[in-house]
Structure 1
Amino acid sequence: MAQRYMRIFAALDGSSTQKAVAERAIALAASNRAELVFGHVIDSVPYEASGVDFEALCAEGAKRIEEDLAELLGQARGNANIPSVELVVRAGRITDTLATQLVEPMDPDLVVCGERGLSNIKYAFVGSVSTYLIRNMRCDVLVVKED
């Protein structure tokens, strides 16, 4: 019997694969009648010494995602097969915040994320969020590849 996903988390990162991640997550949520949460983390490291208002930064980030993905989010929210659709934006160190504030509290059955395609040198220094998720999440992780 095929795995049925009840809760799906889609990690949005603003990259070129973000739309494809959203599309795949919506399709999976609809076919599984699953709850869907879109999450995004704004990297706080560049702002930590400046005293920036992280709450305002997150609100602006959520607004930008709502605008960028308006059509897709509208389709998801209007789909009777998807019981709930939520967008959550937090600020922090990306992998820690993604895991502890977004993914783990939701306890999803599936995490959908994108492949950013970092160069080998950049990957060696900054790592990969998708690799982190694959190695650390206790659920299935689907990595959507760039075209």
Structure 2
Amino acid sequence: MAQHYTRIFAALDGGSTQEAVTARAIALAADNHAHLAFGHVIDSVPYEASGTDFKALCEDVAERIERDIADILAEARNNPDIPSFELIVRAGRITDTLAEQMIEPFGPDLVVCGERGLSNIKYAFVGSISTFLIRNVRCDVLVVKQN
């Protein structure tokens, strides 16, 4: 029997799989009549000592995302089979912020994310968000692979 999802969270990273992640999340949300949230985390680590205004930065990034993928977001907002849609942008340490401030409060039963395709060296130093999600969230995780 197929799984029925009621709340779907899609992690956006601005990478090469972002469009595929959003398309897959919208299709799954529509097919399941599920609530949908897209989330993006701005890594605060490089900015921590600079006095950056993270609230303003989050607003700027949210506006940029709204412009960059306007057609995709409109498709989600206007789809009658998706009961609710939201875009969430936060700043913080990526894994902590993603899990604790975005995914847990939304309470999804499916998280959709993309594969970044890091080299072995980069993976050893920074890890993988998709691996973190698979190991730490308490719901299904769909990793959209690069073409």
TM normalised by structure 1 equals 0.99
User: Aligned residues: percent identity?
Assistant: 75
For 1:60 and 1:76, the matched residues in 2 are separated by: 21
For 1:44 and 1:5, the matched residues in 2 are separated by: 32
Give 1:76 shift: 0.9
Question: Which residue of structure 1 lines up, in the alignment, with residue 132 of structure 2?
Answer: 132
Summarize the alignment of residues 20-59 of structure 1 with structure 2, pairs less than 5 Å apart. Answer: 20-59=20-59
Counterpart amino acid of 1:95? T
Give 1:68 shift: 1.0
What RMSD over aligned residues (CA atoms) do the two structures have, in Å? 0.5
Summarize the alignment of residues 33-112 of structure 1 with structure 2, pairs less than 5 Å apart. Answer: 33-112=33-112
Gaps of 5+ in 2: none
For 1:37 and 1:133, the matched residues in 2 are separated by: 16
CA offsets 1:56-85 (integer angstroms, 9 cap, x no match): 000011011111110011011111000011
CA offsets 1:8-54 (integer angstroms, 9 cap, x no match): 00000010111110000000000000000000000000100000000
For 1:12 and 1:43, the matched residues in 2 are separated by: 13
Q: How many residues align?
A: 147
Gaps of 5+ in 1: none
Counterpart amino acid of 2:129? V
Runs of at least 4 residues off by over 4 Å? none
TM normalised by structure 2 equals 0.99
For 2:52 and 2:22, the matched residues in 1 are separated by: 29
Counterpart amino acid of 1:8? I
1:17 aligns with 2:17: yes
Give 1:140 shift: 0.1
Question: Which residue of structure 1 lines up, in the alignment, with residue 117 of structure 2?
Answer: 117
For 1:79 and 1:42, the matched residues in 2 are separated by: 28
